[in-house]
Structure 1
Amino acid sequence: MSIAARFTDAWTGIDDPLLAAGDLLPVRLARACVQVLGVDGAGLSVMDGPGLRVPVGASDERAAAAERSQFTVGEGPCLHAHATGSTVLATDDVIAQRWPALYEQVVQGAGVRAVASLPLRAGRVGFGALDVYYGDPGDLGRLDLAAAGTVVTSIVRVLTASPGAADDPEGPSWLGSPGARRRGQVWQAMGVLNVRLGLGAPDALALLRAHAYATERDVDGVARDLLHGRLPLADLRLGPRA
């Protein structure tokens, strides 16, 4: 059986009623990646603008936490893969050298020891990335890149063929996944900072990221607390952790 057929069987064969809703399609795809590629975790994300990454599905909580860490520090394999259109392979040593802030959160915090990020492209247009994770850096060399490329092609076909992907102004239902809704609160918090502090979008996001890093949290959680009144504007702080 071909890799494409195995992947289709894997994601369509997930018999979990909790994952049946259309907004959880990317979660099923991420779990199928783990099954077919033999990786420890997988996450799918799309881009909502320059540097504005939206997580739409993860195979497990560790993969979801790794995505939140990349977004919080604003750099990492996924963003580089999307920006360059090329696959990025990074063990923990490479992450420490290229993205030291990410190393603290992903390697030391989430226990991810290696990452492969593959861009999602529809024609010539890149719109996201697939990240696959390993707990052992030695396993990265065993990733079948040809098989991973076939899986990426299948993912793009499934996502772009979903109802609403082409003609619904609100987009397909999978853009309303739980991870995407949480990230949407970051955009709302940026709007609050624009109105209350007069900050443009880049500066508002930078302030949220700085506070998240300073308090050892992720940006999603900081934004949620700001919107719900648990984080006063006066308590947002810039600068490194003490």
Structure 2
Amino acid sequence: MNREQRLAAAFVGLSDTLADDVDPVILLDRLARHCVEIIGADGVGIMMATSRGDLRTMAVTDERTGFLELLELQAGEGPCLECYRKGVPVDSQDLDAHTDRWPEWAPLARRSGFRSAHALPLRVNHQTIGAVNLLLDIPGGLPQADLVLAQALADVAALALIHWSVERTRPSDIHTRLQVAVAVKSMVDMATGMIAEHGGLGPSEALSALHVYAAGNNCRLIDTARALVQRTLRLEEVLGASR
């Protein structure tokens, strides 16, 4: 497979929380492996927050990365910890230039053969739940485009972790979820029709008005549609928001 095909397969594999052989450890191992095989990192470590708010190593791709992850937790410094605390990506294109920033971690990372590092947040709905360490044997780090892809993979993995359940999904559960989706679409269609008739709008304009009102009031589209159908929200309010 070419890189685009491998990326597509990676996103599908990370999001498939219904498979019988998937659990949080496998998901994070997959993420780490994809960051090496597709993104181009030489070593990857993944940490997640515990209920106490500290971090625990969940996946590493090799022994030297595992050693550095352990050191990072013991020393209380390093790109992963900084990324988790700040909730933003952390970059070091040359670890030799960051010995003041990470006086214990950076020299040992350098002696382990790594020359540059990136850390990306694991996040769900703007909440940081961990971090991904990308370590490279050469200075300069990864291109920005590759970091964007790595962050997208991390975001998908984080969402999958939140939606994974220890209980196996039954065929009836899948059928129920599908029927909920169909019911939601029917509710949105009904509300869209009400807006179109009341405002003299076409279907696409009416749906756009529904979206505008929902976004402007920080509401889910289905909640806005339900409020219209149940007459707890006036049509004039929705139409007014789009004008």
TM-score category (smaller protein): 0.5 to 0.7
**Residue from 23, 32, 36 that aligns with 1:30:** 32
Shift in alpha-carbon separation, 1:96–1:50, aligned structure 2, 3 A = farther
Compared CA separation, residues 141 and 148, structure 1 to 2 (3 A): same
2:28–2:46: 8 Å Cα contact kept in structure 1?
yes
Report the Cα distance in structure 1 between the residues aligned to 2:113 and 2:133, rounded to whole angstroms: 15
For residues 55-74 of structure 1, the aligned pairs below 5 Å read 55-74=57-76
SS, match of residue 29 in structure 2: helix
- What is the number of equivalent residue pairs in this alignment? 159
* Alignment of 1:140 onto 2:137: no
Aligned match of 1:201? none
Report the alpha carbon displacement of residue 158 of structure 1 after superposing the two structures with TM.
Answer: 2.4
Aligned to 1:97: 100
The verdict on how the C-alpha distance between 1:99 and 1:59 changes in structure 2, with shifts beyond 3 A counting, is same
1:55 maps to a residue whose letter is T
Structure 2 SS opposite 1:131: strand
**Equivalent AA in structure 2 for residue 113 of structure 1:** R
Q: Return the offset for 1:2.
A: 7.1
Partner of 2:116: 114
Does residue 41 of structure 2 align to residue 39 of structure 1? yes
Change (3 A) 1:103 1:40: same
| Root mean square deviation of aligned Cα | 3.0
TM-score scaled to structure 2, two decimals?
Answer: 0.57
C-alpha distance 102-4 of structure 1, shift in aligned 2 (>3 A): same
Q: Which residue of 1 aligns with 2:54?
A: 52
Distance in 1 separating the partners of 2:11 and 2:68: 26
C-alpha distance in structure 1 between counterparts of 2:126 and 2:13, whole Å: 27
Tell me, what secondary structure is at the counterpart of 1:136? coil
Q: CA deviation at 1:55?
A: 0.5
Structure 2 segments unaligned to the other structure (5+ residues): 16-20, 168-243
Q: Indicate yes or no: 2:90 matched with 1:88.
A: yes
Alignment of 1:186-201 (within 5 A): none
The structural deviation recorded for 1:52 is 2.0
Task: Compute the displacement of 1:67 (Å).
Answer: 0.8
CA contact (8 A) 2:88 2:120 kept: yes
Letter in 1 for 2:63: E
Identity of aligned residues (%): 28
2-side partners of 1:121 and 1:142: how far apart?
Answer: 19
Structure 1 Cα separation of the partners of residues 41 and 116 of structure 2: 10
SS in 2 for 1:163: coil
Gaps of 5+ in 1: 13-18, 166-242
- How far apart in 2 are the matches of 1:84 and 1:142? 20
